[in-house]
Structure 1
Amino acid sequence: MLDLHRLTLLHRFAALGSIAAVAAATGYSASAVSQQLAVLEREAGVALLERTARSATLTEAGRRLAGHAATVLDAVEAAEADLARAADDTSGRIVISTIPTVAVAVAPRLVELSGPRVVLRQHTDDTQALDRLRAREVDIAVIDTWRDAPPPPGLVRTRLMVDPVVIAGPVDHSTWLVAPDDQPSRRVAEEVMAELGVRPDSRWEFMGLATIAGLVAAGVGAAVLPRLALRHADVPVTPTDRSRSIDAVVRAGSRTRPAVGAVLAALAAVPSVP
């Protein structure tokens, strides 16, 4: 009989990619995680990991068993959600990972919840947040989508709001501020700026839309930003025909859990910025 706890560790390894990441997510030491996966290998009777001095990767058998582990864990989570729904139980700990510009907007709604115990974390990398969602490190990932894209495989996405993209600050400003070129907002910003015939100031790139919004509010420059990033910035804005969507993503097995539903309802009730 394969142990459910050890299957969970294998599933997290498949999602997070390293023993160190699994250890950080679970609170165990890396050696403890490695030992538990070695025990699972003995239970399965096949090698699940290909180990080197510095890293480990899944073997073909490891990938197959990780896939089965995901199915098993989804079924367990769905069973737990069904029992909670039958009891109308909205209690429990719900971990949310959200982008910083949304965190400030949703926090007041979350503190009004009386059932779930909510932990709000922030991320700047949606891919990493979705990996942590699949690994069951978080229960809800709030992400932004700058281009139309299919739902993440194996997950359920709910549209929370459409956030208009605007030009913040004077359109004739001599300095235009942007995020680093590996950020999804950068491509949209460059498209809008190209239509205006302006270029980003090559001296600076700033991680964090709230940081750029603060600089615009201080008069340092102009920028192309989503309206939500300007929630607390008093600056002139000019509309564009672009927008981003704000989506909440959950695992299929947990979406009927009352506590998850209560948090999703609170997130969906957050008013957008006109």
Structure 2
Amino acid sequence: MFELRRLRLLHELALRGTIAEVAASLSYSPSTVSQQLALLEREAGVALLEPDGRRVRLTSQGRMLAQHAARALELDESARAELTGTPGWEPVRLSAMPTAAETIVPAALTLLAERAPELRVEVAELPPEESLFELWARRFDLVIAEQYPGHTRELRDGVEHDLLGEDPIRIVLPRTEHPVPLHELRDRSWVMEPQGTAARQWAVQQCRAAGFEPDVRFEATDLTAHVRLVASGHAVGMLPDLIWGDEPSPLTTAELPGSPVREVFTAVRTGSRRSDGIRAVRAALSDALASHRTAAE
């Protein structure tokens, strides 16, 4: 019989690629990970790893067992979810994109303090790209992420997405300026998120559709930096309404062509979606976002 914790190490190695990254993710030493994988090889009776320069890689049998390990972990998680009788039985590890972490998560935690005070929720703020990978790798139980029109997030086996709501995206300009259409901003300096992010790809496409290539002079992951650069007159940008929380925007806003919205969604592993704790957290997030939208309107 295979030891489930060792199977998880093999699964993590298949996802992350190196023993060092597996060790860092699970707070083990690399020597401990190597030792446990060697024991798993002994249990399997076949070679699971082979040298690859100064590293190791999975053999064909190692890759096959890693696929079985993923299914075993999913079954274990599903069984635990069904055995859980009350909210709070297991902590819920939540990862949220920054705009959600700063607005709807605090409101949801307030709701949960009334509905399920025994439920422990652990929160981390991470970009959607990183959060969704770590959900798949079992670092988190629930993720709040977004996707822009025409930029659907990658779908992974064993992970399900559920729409929480929609978040309008608008042009932002210094407070002293009047709203103008997008095509009139062709000669302005722009602030956008870093290259490679869905938000950056989408924003650039909006400018190209309006007939110009944006002069992206400033890059920042933190949207607060976007707000400050625009407020000080150094740039213009595009921001989602959720960044303002329940407060009015301190900047001038203008509509984008077609009044686009981004979809805010939760992601959860299929095996744990029936967990009472996860369902309670998701319901609170949904109610918090709905309250935000009502207040904004």
Residue 261 of structure 1 deviates from its aligned partner by 0.6
Counterpart for residue 115 of structure 1: 118
Is 2:49–2:57's contact at 8 Å kept on the other side of the alignment? yes
Is 1:48–1:60's contact at 8 Å kept on the other side of the alignment? yes
Gaps of 5+ in 2: none
The structure 2 residue matched to 1:157, chosen from 161, 165, 178, is 161
Distance 1:18 1:141, change over 3 A: farther
User: Residue 204 of structure 1: SS of its match in structure 2?
Assistant: strand
Is 1:248–1:264's contact at 8 Å kept on the other side of the alignment? yes
The structure 2 residue matched to 1:100, chosen from 95, 98, 101, is 98
Counterpart for residue 192 of structure 2: 178
Pairwise mapping of residues 1-274 of structure 1 onto structure 2 (< 5 A)? 1-84=1-84, 87-112=85-110, 113=112, 114-126=117-129, 128-146=130-148, 147-148=151-152, 151-169=155-173, 170=177, 171=180, 174-197=188-211, 199-231=213-245, 233-240=249-256, 241=258, 242-269=260-287, 270=289, 271-272=292-293, 273-274=296-297
User: Residue 215 of structure 2: SS of its match in structure 1?
Assistant: coil
Q: What TM-score, normalized by structure 2, do the two folds share?
A: 0.83
Residue 106 of structure 1 deviates from its aligned partner by 2.4
* RMSD, matched Cα: 2.1
For each residue in 1:121-150, what CA deviation from the matched residue of structure 2 results, as whole angstroms up to 9, or x when unmatched? 121251x32221122111112221122457
Bigger CA drift: 107-116 or 56-65? 107-116
User: Residue 237 of structure 1: SS of its match in structure 2?
Assistant: strand
Bigger CA drift: 163-172 or 251-260? 163-172
Is 1:189–1:225's contact at 8 Å kept on the other side of the alignment? no
Residue 200 of structure 1 deviates from its aligned partner by 2.9
Report runs of 4+ in structure 1 exceeding 4 Å deviation. Answer: 195-199
Task: State, as a whole percentage, how many aligned pairs show the same letter.
Answer: 35
User: Residue 255 of structure 2: SS of its match in structure 1?
Assistant: strand
Distance 1:150 1:202, change over 3 A: closer
Residue 97 of structure 1 deviates from its aligned partner by 1.3
Aligned-partner residue type, residue 266 of structure 1: A
Q: How far apart in 2 are the matches of 1:62 and 1:40?
A: 10
Bigger CA drift: 56-65 or 206-215? 206-215
Q: How far apart in 2 are the matches of 1:268 and 1:137?
A: 22
Is 1:177–1:205's contact at 8 Å kept on the other side of the alignment? yes
Gaps of 5+ in 1: none
Residue 79 of structure 1 deviates from its aligned partner by 0.9
User: Residue 167 of structure 1: SS of its match in structure 2?
Assistant: strand
- Alignment: residue pair count: 271
Q: How far apart in 1 are the matches of 2:104 and 2:54?
A: 41
For each residue in 1:14-55, what CA deviation from the matched residue of structure 2 results, as whole angstroms up to 9, or x when unmatched? 222221222122211011011101110111011112233532
For each residue in 1:235-256, what CA deviation from the matched residue of structure 2 results, as whole angstroms up to 9, or x when unmatched? 1211222221111111111000
Q: How far apart in 2 are the matches of 1:187 and 1:106?
A: 25
Aligned-partner residue type, residue 226 of structure 2: I
Aligned-partner residue type, residue 262 of structure 1: A
Q: How far apart in 1 are the matches of 2:107 and 2:118?
A: 13
Is 1:168–1:216's contact at 8 Å kept on the other side of the alignment? yes
Is 1:90–1:262's contact at 8 Å kept on the other side of the alignment? no
Q: How far apart in 1 are the matches of 2:236 and 2:139?
A: 38
Distance 1:166 1:202, change over 3 A: closer
